[in-house]
Structure 1
Amino acid sequence: MDDRDGQKRNHDDQYPSNEKCPVPNVADSKKTFRTALPQILATSAKNILLLGYGMTLGFPTIVIPSLQPGHGNVTDMREKDTFSLTEEQISWFSSINLICVPLGCLVSGAITQPLGRKRAMIMVNFPFIVAWILFHYSVNVGMLYASLVLTGFGGGIMEAPVLTYVAEITQPHLRGMLSATSSTCVILGILIQFLMGTVLAWRTIAAINVIFPLVAIIAICFVPESPYWLIGHGRVADAEKSLCWLRGWVEPHEVQHELMQLVSSISAKNLSNKHCAPSVSSRPSCYSWRNYAKRTFVQPYCLVSAGFFFGHFAGMTTLQTYAVSIFAALGAPIDKYVATLYLGVVELAGALICVILVHWAGKRPLTFVSTVGNGLCYIVVAAYAYFYSSRNSYEWLPLTFLIASAFLSHVGIRLLPWILIGEVFPSEIRSVASGASGSVGYIFGFAANKTYFYMLNSMTLPGTFWFYGVVSLVGSVWFYFFLPETEGRTLLEIQEHFEGSRNLLKKGRLSSRVPEEWATANPALVPDTETHL
């Protein structure tokens, strides 16, 4: 231990700046995949939960046409539904789950902190199970609304554990890609619903969907708890086991360097408050309101909120929800359900491209391509709807550009805020701040869906699409001035940017850093801000 401490002091003397330098490697280049594999597996187990959540978002899209008077498809005739939805009820049905998500977000961080990321992710599956059963047996609009409330509330509770878990178990060179898989799995869940909706009745789909939260519970039971959370609750031995699993099923001595860094990054008062319970003499920093008045919370929160605003009001949210009716209104030359399926496919393709390119290109370039491209696509469709829709000419043009907009939006802007949430907030407020940020996203999503019919009635379809296009282009300008490049940066460097001691707008990403240099640099290694502010 003395020799190791001496080496650390020499290391610090040689590199006195805040820049991270190469540290002892946990594994050589032959073990790089083995080091990454457990992090991928742990993220994948969590992603099954997000897959099921994506199904709750795609489900209203296939139910709405079936319950509109005179719009049901042949598969739903066998269900013999005795009720239908009015336009006002449809506007609520498409958005009531989104407005309920913030309610879950309000308690998400408070639940995640004492229970842990793993147990919170297991617990959140139960509202989804009840909701799918309720969907299957629905006999009136009230039961549908109750099911949506459950899925929305469960989705809100899910925000803090799933977003913080990936940030706290992954290494910086994997963090961006693995964080992006979260949104990819949500989109995959939506696509699965679109696909099932073309061949099955919606009640049958609801019954099948029960399988996914059950599988998620089983998968999450086999992955370790976040080592950062374990150390914060005084369970250092358990954190060591967790790190051994996450770094390639290695021996304890191979993770000692990282473990010591983690322990030293957490204040003694948080270690003594194993359950993070507030008290007069020793109040943990995670509950201090002062942390939420600092620029290290306010600026990231505004950045993430802007990402959600431009993502939802750039048209993709309403297109995804009302795809069937939009394609029908524009006179798509193919079946409207098949067109909706294509929409889901390209959304998934765009998200996969984002997962692949975010590490190499960085977040800023992908965001610019996404917002500018999406804005131009909507402006073209708006022009077509205004000048040519009544002439029954160029019928492929709006379908092509709407599908292109779905692809471009998911390459960047739709995934951006979800990736940022896990890395822009300081460690001591990460759980609560993640839930609060996610709630804003769903409020914007609710507003975008709920106001769609009002905008359509007052601005017409071309005017609505022009509005979406302009919002997307304005977003590209806003991000140019305010979006830092966080890809390839440690969480400490990102925090220093929002503190004002570093400018990532100018420096950009660190393309010269290679994965081997990050072998022992866990992204959760963020010292308590009281030692830095």
Structure 2
Amino acid sequence: MAINEDNQNGKNKGTQELREPFIPREKVNSYEEVESHKSSNRGTIGMVVLSTAVSVCGAFEFGSCVGYSAPTQSAIREDLQLSLPEYSMFGSILTIGAMIGAVTSGHISDFIGRKGAMVVSALFCIAGWLAVYLAKGALLLDIGRVFTGYGCGVFSYVVPVFIAEIAPKNLRGGLTTVNQLMIVVGSSVAFLVGSVVTWRTLALTGLVPCILLLLGLFFVPESPRWLAKMGHQKDFESAMQRLRGKDADITEEVTEIQDYIETLQSLPKAGMVDLFQRKYIRALIIGVGLMVLQQFGGINGIGFYVSETFISAGSSGKTGTIAYACVQVPITLLGALLMDISGRRPLIMISATGTFLGCFFTGMSFFLKGHDLLPEWAPMLAVAGVLIYIGSFAIGMGPVPWVIMSEIFPINVKGAAGSVVTLVCWFGAWAVSYTFNSFMDWSSAGTFFFYSGVSAITVLFVAKFVPETKDKTLEEIQASINM
């Protein structure tokens, strides 16, 4: 900030000219006052961080549900006298509930708000965990699993959307990636805790993130973009002020969002059929395409049966699984830090290249084992391949599609589009986990070579269709997609 003296044309010495920001001269009493005024426009992100922390309790719950079945299989089967097909139903029925949740997630979050949708999800998960805890047979166990699956399906859509809608554009990618990080953490915690407590006690631990979420939502604002869409002008401005700080200047951001909402409100309300209109089709192709490639790259098959994969390759299942769990969390955290530095496109292309190499190495290990070639190398190659795969997936292919999904759709179709994309994701999760063992029986090497091929296609798809969204407002992103 410059303060200059003007000695020309008879003007008084000491006249102060304030270049940035402009403040009337008669109101400037000191340098400290100028600095105070300047800093008052910077805002804070404390409420954004708190809101993100509260919402990702839903992501942690998601991870807890996914990770629950792995450490409890033998104990549940023994206590409830379940056959292997009955337990397999219990494990896989989570994805059926999640698909139902995905179909309804967009409509729920549009009708009662992002916070309201999270409340519904938490209540379903609480009911589901209590049913699992009280189960005396397969029926109540499966009902509980469906309920928790439904909650996961809604959480998987609404949490990244809520974070994207509250975050400043320069932090949006990193904060949204925390969603994927907490899913991984929740899954790892469930696995570790489940190894030392009973399956009923582990079910009760699933209540903790839901309770924290319900309590935390009392202290954070609703998504300002949703409030603006619903016409709650006063609440919209209040939410924006809370999120940016009480002294922050929100005028420009408020005006931009209002202008965009007014444009959207002039359009007819869009349903799923309308997504296939020309103005939405590119965003739909990007969102659905990324989810198809994410899931059919094999993540749920490899993740659900990682121990069996290591054993099949001649390695130690326990050692490999521990290494798998240890790699996930720090790499996912690194991805969150890189999201707003490197950008979405480079990160996902590097990630897909890594998953290609990981699957290729794992496929080669099974090929060598099947032909009795280099027997001392095959187990090490399998472990290295799987760890490369999961590390590469965690840094980009896991979180980035969800970040992009939360950014690319206009708010008037976000509900319908989000439901479609999330449904595709959960269908892919079911299809891959259901077919993985059959594929491995057919050809272990061929299975991983197929997954490596999907990863190669991912690189080409991103290069051709996916725009860079880093450092752009949601409104700028949607404008660029339709150019």
Q: What band does the TM-score fall into relative to the shorter chain? A: 0.7 to 0.9
Aligned equivalents of 1:450 and 1:262: distance in 2?
A: 43
When the two structures are superposed, what TM-score results if normalisation uses the length of structure 2? 0.85
Aligned match of 1:312: 295
Q: What residue number does 1:450 align with?
A: 434
Counterparts of 1:354-369 in structure 2 under 5 Å? Answer: 354-369=335-350
SS in 1 for 2:170: helix
Contiguous gaps of at least 5 residues in structure 1: 1-25, 69-79, 271-282, 502-533
Larger radius of gyration: 2
Q: 1:241 aligns with which of 238, 262, 267?
A: 238
The Cα of 1:31 is off from its aligned counterpart by 7.4
How far 1:97 sits from its partner (Å)? 1.4
Distance 1:312 1:290 in 2: 24
Q: Could you say which residue in structure 2 is the equivalent of 1:507?
A: none
- Give the structure 1 partner of residue 189 of structure 2: 192
Question: Which residue is equivalent to 1:217?
Answer: 214
Deviations 1:507-528 (A, max 9, x none): xxxxxxxxxxxxxxxxxxxxxx
Aligned residue runs from structure 1 range 495-514, under 5 A: 495-499=478-482, 501=483
Is the contact between residue 62 and residue 156 of structure 2 (CA under 8 Å) also seen in structure 1? no
User: What is the 5 A alignment of 1:318-467?
Assistant: 318-333=301-316, 336-388=317-369, 393-394=376-377, 395-457=379-441, 459-467=442-450
| CA gap 1:269/1:355 in 2 versus in 1, 3 angstroms | closer
Tell me which amino acid in the other structure corresponds to 1:451. T
391-400 or 121-130, which deviates more: 391-400
Greater shift in the superposed pair: 419-428 or 392-401: 392-401
CA distance in 1, matches of 2:204, 2:356: 38
1:285 deviates by 3.4
Write the distance in 1 (CA, Å) between the matches of 2:264 and 2:462: 38
1:171 matches 2:180? no
Measured in 2, the distance between the counterparts of 1:128 and 1:343 equals: 27
1:433 CA drift (Å): 1.4
Deviation at 1:56, TM superposition (A): 0.5
Indicate how the Cα distance of structure 1 residues 288 and 376 shifts in structure 2: closer, same or farther if over 3 A, else same.
closer
Runs of 4+ in 1 over 6 A off after TM superposition: none
How far did residue 205 of structure 1 move? 1.0
Residue among 429, 433, 453 paired with 1:470: 453
1:338 CA displacement: 4.8
The number of residue pairs the alignment matches comes to 445
Task: Give the match for residue 74 of structure 1.
Answer: none
**Conserved in 1, the CA contact under 8 Å of 2:352 and 2:397?**
yes
User: How far apart are 1:452 and its partner, in Å?
Assistant: 1.2
Higher relative contact order (CA 8 A, sep 6+): 1
Q: Secondary structure of 1:485's match?
A: coil
Structure 1 residue matching 2:363: 3-state secondary structure: helix
TM-aligned CA distance change 1:29 to 1:343, over 3 Å? farther
SS in 1 for 2:468: coil
CA-to-aligned-CA distance 1:359-406 (integer Å, 9 cap, x gap): 111112211211111111112112212323778623333223212210
Q: Answer with 384-393 or 203-212: which moved more.
A: 384-393
Matched with 1:57 is 66
1:109·1:433 contact (CA, 8 Å) conserved in 2?
yes
Distance 1:290 1:85, change over 3 A: closer
CA shift, 1:303, in A, is 1.4
Residue in 2 that maps onto 1:83: 81
**Partner of residue 227, structure 2:** 230
The answer for unaligned runs of 5 or more in structure 2 is 1-35
TM-score, normalised via structure 1 length: 0.77
Q: 1:498 to 1:291 in 2, by over 3 A?
A: farther
Deviations 1:120-178 (A, max 9, x none): 21221011111112222333333332222112212223344323212221121111111
- SS of equivalent residue, structure 1 residue 428: coil
Q: Given residue 129 of structure 1, which amino acid in structure 2 is its aligned partner?
A: I
From the superposition, tell whether residues 85 and 347 of structure 1 become closer, same or farther in structure 2 (CA, over 3 Å). farther
Instruction: Provide closer, same or farther for how the CA distance between residues 85 and 400 of structure 1 changes in structure 2, counting only shifts above 3 A.
Output: farther
Q: Find out whether 1:205 has 2:205 as its counterpart.
A: no
Moved more, 94-103 or 189-198: 94-103
Compute the displacement of 1:417 (Å): 1.4
**Alignment match of 1:261 (pick from 230, 237, 256):** 256
